[in-house]
Amino acid sequence: MSTLTKQTLSHLDWLEAEAIHILREVAGQCANPVLLFSGGKDSICLLRLAEKAFRPGRFPFPLMHIDTGHNYKEVTDFRDKRAAELGERLIVRSVEDSMARGTVVLKHAGESRNKHQSVTLLEAIEEFGFDACIGGARRDEEKARAKERIMSFRDEFGQWDPKNQRPELWNLYNARSHKGENIRAFPISNWTELDVWQYIQREQLELPSIYFAHVRPVVRKSGLLQPVTELTPAKDGDVVEDVLVRFRTVGDITCTAPVESDADTVEKILAETATTTITERGATRMDDQTSEASMEQRKKEGYF
């Protein structure tokens, strides 16, 4: 093996070029795609990549958010602001509407609505006839996701069949589907949490404020910091503390926990991310910890 001679792209440029290529393949192969935008850091990167892929034209797809009604206001405000800045169409569909229709039935009023997003997502796919949903999931997030294709096929019930996936070779993606079926496309599959933060730094991307260190009342429970909010009030016997925290992922309030941190800039978050000892979802997601296969189970039911 000889030394490095031929000019090649830096790792971040390579990841960016791959993601742009994937976005353009979705636009070229699918008739009616949509990009899922939650206001979270991964989908904020997706929007920058879509700008690089399609400007000066408009995006060849609308943006959509499946709102559980339990999202932090800082994040949904940011979502609306970003969509308006880009001048792109934002569709919001709400789990609460599915509850009103009776298609989502909670076991009890306090149950997390996170997994019920799948129902609302499938209803929205049907309503608009989307044949592809572009999402910001990454393979390094979770072990079931490590096995997922970049273009992942879902049947008419939105189900993922992990044992029967289309082989994916070279960069020849197969995004074909019949009516009623759809493709989930993941342009940043090959990115890690560190890559995402490096990209945010390089592109100087704006983020919702809760990604940065702030003081928040929390209760320490089963190794996680559970935020005390109107939706998740402290229970009798809970010790409420004001702690300097930041969110590594932002999702449904009822199942996303912050981590202790004084990182109030992207640079400090990068430094923390490079030296952390706990995985992104391990530190923050209550919904992934119920069993070893909980993500896989949700994905089989139509979840991202």
Partner 1 sequence: MSALENLPDIDNGLLRFLTCGSVDDGKSTLIGRLLFDTKTILADTLNAIEKTSAKRGMSAVDLSLLTDGLQAEREQGITIDVAYRYFSTGRRKYIIADAPGHEQYTRNMVTAASTANLAIILIDARKGVLTQTRRHSYLASLVGIPHLLVAVNKMDLVDYDQAVFERIKAEYLAFAARLGIKDVRFIPISALEGDMIVDRGERLAWYDGPTLLDILENAPAAHTEQAEDFRFPVQFVCRPQDSANPELHDYRGFMGRVESGEIAVGDAVTVLPSGASSRVRKIELGGESLPRAIHEQSVTLLLEDEIDISRGDLIVKSAEAPEPVKQIDATVCWLSETPLSPARTYLVRHTTREVKAKLAKIDYRLDVNTLEQEATNGLAMNDIARVTLKLAQPIVADRYADNRATGAFIIIDESTNNTVGAGMIG
Question: Looking at beta carbons only, is 208 or 302 nearer to partner 1?
Answer: 302
- Which of 241, 292 has the CB closer to partner 1? 292
Minimum CB distance to partner 1 smaller for 81 or for 176: 176
Q: 40 with 249: CB under 8 angstroms?
A: yes
How far apart (Å, rounded) are the C-alpha atoms in residues 138 and 150? 9
- Shorter beta-carbon distance to partner 1: residue 97 or 181: 181
DSSP-assigned states of every residue in 275-291: H-SS-HHHHHBSGGGSS
Q: Which is nearer to partner 1, 208 or 251 (CB)?
A: 251
Least CB distance from residue 203 to partner 1, whole Å? 9
Task: State in angstroms the smallest separation of the CB of 194 from partner 1.
Answer: 7
Spatial distance between the Cα atoms of 67 and 75, rounded to a whole number of angstroms: 11
Residue 2 identity (one-letter amino acid) = S
Name the minimum Å distance from CB 23 to partner 1. Answer: 9
C-alpha pair distances (Å), 181 with each of 85, 87, 164, 189, 268:
32, 29, 15, 21, 43
Q: Contact, 213 vs 245, CB < 8 A?
A: yes
CB of 134 to partner 1, least distance (A): 14
Q: How far is the CB of 25 from partner 1 (least distance, A)?
A: 6
Which residue in this structure is represented by tokens 């000889």?
A: 2
* CA pair distance 248, 9, nearest whole angstrom: 28
